[in-house]
Chain A
């Protein structure tokens, strides 16, 4: 019973972190319908940048994320202008290929700069835990999960409440209509892509003290974040959070009752199952748009 409870606690905490890692993809894939295969690479770049700030200046990774956010957003802007805007017009399939190529290039650069060995940041809280009864709540996971909630709520409010959020939604649902009312989809696209890429800084920071990381783990993180977005239903920030928790619990239970080795297969297995049975995601209802496309 305690084992199950503990697995659930770990699962929920890590699920929040998964949702945080997937925030960028929720926006690009979910709202803009652009499959950004470089999400895992962007995430791991953020991780290395947070690592560098922590190593050289002793900056806490969570605080470092607020610094890393800016160059990441700039990177997103450049990638959107140079690659995505151009290829989406020709063939969205090519965007997928090009962003995947970008992921490989990024992985190569990281390996050339930091080498292939495992790294991690160790802020004071990284191996401390709070005990509630017999349950252990690791502080690192707890802080990461709280960060996830803050960022998720902030992004959700941005989409629901601000002009930019409305413009984003309008431009992704009906580019022609958006243009008629004075929203330039390409410009909005560039902004949203920059925000999405910038937001990977927070997921990357959490990753830096929760996991050992190497450049070649980017494709595993890509698989995980795709899984979160597909399970959650495209573009649903709340759905992504629920999906993250579901994935976290499923992995944690697999680790506890099956084997830690199979736990890594959980996200990809869920992608295949959900796309076969319920492609609109687990937490969203079918809309007319989905049916017609």
Chain B
């Protein structure tokens, strides 16, 4: 009798074997069977699978949904078509130019996402598709407009059937899936998943999110652009309404959602389900209502998948399959980094920083200095502008007035990732970790150079385990942050900061909501960072914690620094008492 565990054991080699088997079957199919109907159906399926795999890099990994990917199919098809019809360039060469045009369009569109997020991206892609559709119809001298564009007919012998379309399309599919798989396993993919979880936090760790998103979107557009070129030759006649039809986008999104967003094989699986249905309806349905029925079918399927199967088929199935245990690596006892060379004694200098929201002056001309030799506390009543000040310093909110200097370098025009690279690191009131990544990956994610190498190299893993071990978290290295307690998540966020080896650490209420034991451990950690020469700026409401740790305190009220000095000095300050307790109690305090 086969036990459940036994079955799961047997599955692993099976799962590895089915890929070459399926590929071999697809290669052999046209040679064995002369059935042109199925050959054509597979060509369309490959095309959809290429589109879906490409879409998945941006839509699945990075979480940026697009409804405009028909645009890339259309651009690829028309570039190839125009080159073939007017300049007699072979479509098999022209399709690469088509891919290039699609890649350029994707790069331009991703520029729009520099300042906008999630839901706007859908609108941007939708608008771009409409715009290019109108342009293609209007520029009829180039595209043939609504009259259509005819490509030269293929000249090869009929005995080759559609092989010259079939094999290039299959080859392109293999390449696309390989690239998608590679991206998923690389640092690029890890960064894209981090962007999906929390883009702001990712940028705060120094991830150049704009570059990541551009690469992801361009990769997705390029392959389907090339496929569009081959497809143009295959259909030999292009018509703007059909080529830029949003239904192509819908089929792509449907295939990915059905198969499993964010997985490598889900989009391919989805395409192999959706394309045959699409093919069947377009050949078997006739009459004036055919278009409406197809729309009803695919609209209905898309809605049903979004509502009832939002994770897709593959993730649901793969829960039944075994996962490989991670390779254990001993934590390396990395020597504590030597103190940095002597730099200006003031780590952070803020002068005249100002920010208004509507009529509210949240930060109103703040001057603040964080010297290297003193742990600096920042206190103030709720709404006094502490968090806004943090957001201005780390670049979450752009500032126009005032200057920020970190270890002698001006940060005024630096982007958020650039500030992280300059050595600025922060934690948040509520810890923000990447739920799709393991604890180790949460640390390693801001790698700056080798986007194409594997997610966590052995060297990085050893160093990360060293950092985690110091915080008593080594046992959780491969857990999901979701499985950790609140206090542990706060420690992981601190580990992220330590990993960056920063010049200045800004801690936003580090002791809030954690146990006294953990709070003491945290205080020790802050001291040891300080001894290594790292500047510390700390927001905290727990005055005992502040008094214990900070040599110097700044008090913020109504967006202004109203006092600074030792804790004893500022607690005696009348203005401070006034700010915390209000005018009415002031006489009582005085008397």
Contact = CB atoms under 8 A, between A and B. Distances in A.
Interface string A73-115: 0000000000100110011111011101111110111011001
A37 B358 CA distance: 31
B65 A96 contact: yes
A226 interface: yes
Given A93-B65, A230-B123, A276 B360 contact: no
Interface stretch (A123-131, A205-213, A284-292): A284-292
B359 to A, nearest CB: 9
A226 B123 contact: yes
B152 interface: no
Interface size class of B (residues with CB under 8 A): 35 or more
Interface in B290-328: 291-293, 295-296, 298-303, 306-307, 310
Nearest to B117: A293
Nearest to B64: A93
A287 B289 contact: no
Given A226-B127, A287-B357, A292-B396, A91 B122 contact: no
Nearest to A285: B358
B468 to A, nearest CB: 30
A60 B343 CA distance: 79
Interface stretch (A181-189, A196-204, A264-272): A264-272
Contacts of B514: none
Interface in A253-284: 259, 261-262, 264-265, 267-269, 271-272, 275-276, 279
B285 to A, nearest CB: 12
Contacts of B123: 35, 226, 230, 271, 275
Nearest to A109: B296
B137 interface: yes
Interface stretch (B20-28, B81-89, B108-116, B562-570): B108-116
A223 B116 contact: no
Interface residues of A, number: 55
B362 A288 contact: yes
A154 to B, nearest CB: 26
Contacts of B480: none
A269 B124 CA distance: 10
Interface in B269-302: 288-289, 291-293, 295-296, 298-302
B126 A279 contact: no
Contact of A101 (B111, B124, B299): B299
B484 interface: no
Interface of B: 63, 65, 67, 111-112, 114-120, 122-124, 126-128, 130-131, 134-135, 137-138, 246, 250, 253, 257, 288-289, 291-293, 295-296, 298-303, 306-307, 310, 357-358, 360, 362, 388, 391, 396-397
20 contacts: A37-B67, A37-B126, A93-B63, A94-B310, A97-B65, A97-B306, A100-B302, A104-B296, A105-B300, A107-B299, A108-B292, A109-B292, A226-B127, A230-B123, A262-B138, A268-B127, A272-B124, A272-B127, A288-B357, A291-B397
Given A87-B307, A275-B115, 12 more contacts: A33-B119, A98-B303, A108-B299, A109-B292, A115-B288, A259-B138, A269-B131, A271-B123, A272-B127, A276-B111, A279-B115, A287-B358
